[in-house]
Amino acid sequence: MAISQSNAPAISDSDKENLDVLTSTQAIILEALTRLGYDSAMYELLKEPLRILTVRFPVRMDDGSVQVFTGYRAQHNDAVGPTKGGIRLHPDVTEDEIRALSIWMSIKCGIANLPYGGGKGGIICDPRTMSFSEIERLSRAYVRAISQIVGPTKDIPAPDVFSNSQNMAWMMDEYSHIREFDSPGFITGKPLVLGGSKGRESATARGVAICIEEAAKVKNISIQGARVIIQGFGNAGSYLAKFMYDSGAKVVGISDAYGALYDSNGLNIPELLEQRDSFGTVTKLFEDTITNKELLEQECDILVPAAIENQITKDNAANVKASVIVEAANGPTTTAATKILSDKGVLIVPDVLGNSGGVIVSYFEWVQNNQGYYWSEEEIDKKLIDLMRKSFHTVYEAAHKYGVDMRLAAYMVGVRRMAESARWRGWV
């Protein structure tokens, strides 16, 4: 049976832009499956996570009061293998966002050919306003609440927005207590001494940098002196700024949640990194800031959105000056903006490819935990370079073969193994 368009969201170019990440993800999944010749049963299977658990759990705060938090864990599809994906701690977390993010994880794992399906977790909270011990109790309580559905061969969490190796250490410790055996493979992004992997901390940025190199080659841009703008100065943005600065590019703009800095002569990145706090805040120290919105429209060759969703929309896409956009954040460019930019000839390396370095090195971490033998930084970096380059060129070639933009090509490449696995298992 052909895929029915009636019950599916359309990729719309009507006036009202769709900023809903779940329906826009479903639209692109539908488009990818249709072009690959799959039927409606496959779309029905893949348009939503197979499982989503909502948990509410109490946490004792430092002042003695109790606060009840809400969290989610979504498992998109486990036809390929256990599900995999980060846990974000953010006040704006919603269930639909976590659903969409779990689908994106499936696509990322598919592009890199990792033996995983996608998963994602989130807790509605603002860690910027919580103490260290409150965040510890929150992290542990969340793991107790979701422990039934996660595990090293079931669903393997990792860091995401505002969560880091310390959260992963507490979560691994809590899980090991519950299961009564040491379980390093339960979670990735751990500190090195607890079974973390060399290179994991900077892996997302490293992967973005590799994509920038490949995209620059395709576009005949020399990295030496290339003007780069990076929106966001968290884990991905800050490491990337350092990598680009060290490789001779001119990082002309950076930003955090409060504002942006732009200097056409290039910013002093080492100094900014020194001044940045653990949540990536630095612009508060300056007076001559511009807004995030203004930053995206400044002159540059390469633009890297490394913050949050829906930053480049149909309202500002035409004003973007970059000829290459590499998405380090998840979902920073809307479908309508992708079309405007692609029509202008801008090369967009989509999130599911651009930021897949994080989950790739998470996979290396999990393999090392399972085998109990650990690789050197050089070995990890070589494996990451090989896989990222291969992923980039597979998607780039698919875009040419099918005559589609890089985002749709990435979904076509990324959905395939999952769909084939589901078929072989006899699910559809």
Give the whole-angstrom CA distance, residue 372 versus residue 368. Answer: 6
Q: How far is the CB of 29 from ligand GLU (least distance, A)?
A: 17
Among residues 307 and 317, whose Cβ is nearest to ligand GLU? 307
Site for ligand GLU (CB under 6 A): how many residues? 13
SS3 content of the chain, % helix, strand, coil (to 5): 45, 15, 35
Among 49, 82, 85, 195, binds ligand GLU (CB under 6 A): 85
Among 73, 84, 140, 227, binds ligand GLU (CB under 6 A): 84
H or E segment to which residue 87 belongs: strand 83-89
Does residue 158 interact with ligand GLU by CB under 6 A?
yes
Q: Judge whether 120 counts as a catalytic residue.
A: yes
Q: How far is the CB of 188 from ligand GLU (least distance, A)?
A: 5
Give the footprint of ligand GLU on residues 169-198 (CB under 6 A). Answer: 188
Among residues 134 and 351, whose Cβ is nearest to ligand GLU? 351
Among residues 134 and 160, whose Cβ is nearest to ligand GLU? 160
Two tokens, residue 54 = 């909502």
Q: How far is the CB of 160 from ligand GLU (least distance, A)?
A: 4
DSSP letter (8 states) at residue 82: S
Candidates 49-57, 216-224, 355-363, 383-391; binding stretch for ligand GLU (CB under 6 A): 355-363
Distances in Å between the alpha carbon of 228 and those of 80, 157, 295, 327, 332? 37, 32, 11, 13, 17
Does residue 355 interact with ligand GLU by CB under 6 A?
yes
Candidates 260-268, 334-342, 356-364, 367-375; binding stretch for ligand GLU (CB under 6 A): 356-364
Does residue 86 interact with ligand GLU by CB under 6 A?
yes
- Strands 117-123 and 66-75, bridge-based pairing: antiparallel
Among residues 361 and 412, whose Cβ is nearest to ligand GLU? 361
Give helix 406-424 / helix 21-36 axis angle, nearest 10°: 70
Contact 42, 427 (CB under 8 A): no
Alpha helices for 180-326 (secondary structure H): 203-218, 235-246, 269-275, 292-296
Q: How far is the CB of 364 from ligand GLU (least distance, A)?
A: 10
Q: How far is the CB of 137 from ligand GLU (least distance, A)?
A: 22
Candidates 20-28, 70-78, 130-138, 158-166; binding stretch for ligand GLU (CB under 6 A): 158-166
Residue 288 CB neighbour total at 10 angstroms? 9
Among 342, 362, 368, 391, binds ligand GLU (CB under 6 A): 362
Among residues 304 and 359, whose Cβ is nearest to ligand GLU? 359
Q: How many CA atoms lie within 13 A of 78 on its CB side?
A: 17
Candidates 45-53, 80-88, 237-245, 285-293; binding stretch for ligand GLU (CB under 6 A): 80-88
Give the footprint of ligand GLU on residues 320-339 (CB under 6 A). Answer: 330
Residue 206 CB neighbour total at 10 angstroms? 25
Amino acid at 345: G
- The residue sitting closest to ligand GLU, measured at its beta carbon, is 86
Distances in Å between the alpha carbon of 368 and those of 93, 163, 197, 381? 31, 22, 8, 14
Q: For residue 123, how far is the Cα from the chain centroid?
A: 16
Candidates 292-300, 319-327, 337-345, 357-365; binding stretch for ligand GLU (CB under 6 A): 357-365
Catalytic residue among 108, 120, 190, 314: 120
Among 89, 229, 236, 359, binds ligand GLU (CB under 6 A): 359
Among residues 158 and 341, whose Cβ is nearest to ligand GLU? 158
Among residues 40 and 102, whose Cβ is nearest to ligand GLU? 102
Among 358, 369, 387, 419, binds ligand GLU (CB under 6 A): 358
- Determine the length of the chain: 428
Contact 258, 283 (CB under 8 A): yes
What 284-292 contacts at long range (C-beta under 8 Å, 24+ apart), as own/partner pairs, is 284/256, 284/258, 284/259, 286/259, 286/261, 288/261, 289/258, 289/259, 289/260, 289/261, 290/259, 290/260, 290/261, 290/262, 291/259, 291/260, 292/231, 292/255, 292/259, 292/260
Amino acid at 382: K
Among residues 306 and 359, whose Cβ is nearest to ligand GLU? 359
- Interface mask (CB under 6 A) for ligand GLU, residues 87-126, using x and -? ---------------------x------------------
Residues marked active site are found at 120
Residues lying near ligand GLU in the complex (CB under 6 A) are found at 84-86, 108, 158-160, 188, 330, 355, 358-359, 362
